Amino acid sequence: MKKRQAGAVSTAVIVLIVLLIASWAFIGAFLFLKKAQSEEGPKKFVAAYMDALKNKDFNKVFEILDFNLDKNILDKIKELLANEEYLAWRINSYKITDVKVDGGFAKVSVEETDYKEFKGPAKEAEKFIKPGENIVKETFYLVKDDGKWAIDPCRSWINFKTFPLKAEDFQNIKGSEEEEAQKKMGAWINTIGFGQFFTVVASPSVAPVVAIGAAIAIPNFIKARGQAQFVACESNMKNIGTALEMYATDNFGRYPTSLSQLTPNYLKSIPTCPEAARDTYSSSYRSSVNPDAYTFCCSGSNHTREGVGENYPQYNSVQGLITGKQ
């Protein structure tokens, strides 16, 4: 009798252990599948983005990023990166090494193998920027919006925090100062991958600064530098135009009599043209009543090497931006 009871107890214990192991295995498999499922969206998003960059399909790249970027800046970025007359920068291969998801946020780690080659007058950039094939570790920050994953523009600023120069550093830069800027830009570009660089350069608040900085990083790349400064000036004027409309909304449709009335409520300060290194807009600003309208321009011959005449670009309340280019 005692032997049968002991045997029954042993059998019950064994069954209990088997059930516990099966439960742990089931829970483990469930958690693993749930984790894999939560990581699938961010992983697919980054893979699609990296594939588009690898194929240099820049229309697809900007479609994936979905940043509200000024079309002029967008076109300049695509033109600069697609034209390999001076610089060839591409992704040879990549692999996603880690995915972490926390609710509506995700962090995706990537190991990218990229290749840089400098040609023509840009060859001197090799003094500051490492050419050839390099392996770079990158981190992409994502956010889930309306059920879709996207680059988080706020946390992507982390990728830009090591950018070595400020907007004002590009004003009146010359001689030994320009060489020092080239060294700083080169050191930064050496530490950042093409994929990460693009999430920074595509950000509306950063693009004009990076475009100018990239032009400075490549010696003798005067044409690109002039284009970048022209685009940055256009961006300034659009920001002023937006501030003027906001002012009018708050003032019964009337525009200010001077741009100084926009600060500090609508603009922190009146921006400066990067080519002229001063405020070239305030002196030309004119407003009227009945009809309520305004016009202003970048005063002077600041962008003539871009093929425009004096006092261009221009901006008014009817046509918006007038580039002056044919």
Instruction: Tell me which H or E stretch contains 79.
Output: helix 71-82
For the domain bounded by 42-220, which CATH number is listed?
3.10.450.50
Q: Are the C-beta atoms of residues 217 and 129 closer than 8 Å to each other?
A: yes
- Going by pLDDT thresholds of 50, 70 and 90, the confidence category of residue 281 is very high
Percentage of residues in the chain with pLDDT exceeding 70? 66
One DSSP character per residue, 142-156 reads EEEETTEEEE-TTGG
pLDDT at position 284 over 80 = yes
The residue type at 26: F
> What pLDDT does residue 219 have?
46
- Going by pLDDT thresholds of 50, 70 and 90, the confidence category of residue 216 is very low
Query: What's the whole-model pTM score?
Result: 0.53
- Going by pLDDT thresholds of 50, 70 and 90, the confidence category of residue 222 is very low
CATH 3.10.450.50 residue spans of the chain: 42-220
Phi-psi region of 53 (alpha: psi -120 to 50; beta: other; left: phi over 0): alpha
> What pLDDT does residue 259 have?
93
Chain centroid, CA 138 distance in Å: 14
Q: Are the C-beta atoms of residues 130 and 190 closer than 8 Å to each other?
A: yes
Q: Are the C-beta atoms of residues 191 and 184 closer than 8 Å to each other?
A: no
- Phi, psi of 294, rounded to the nearest 5 degrees: -155, 160
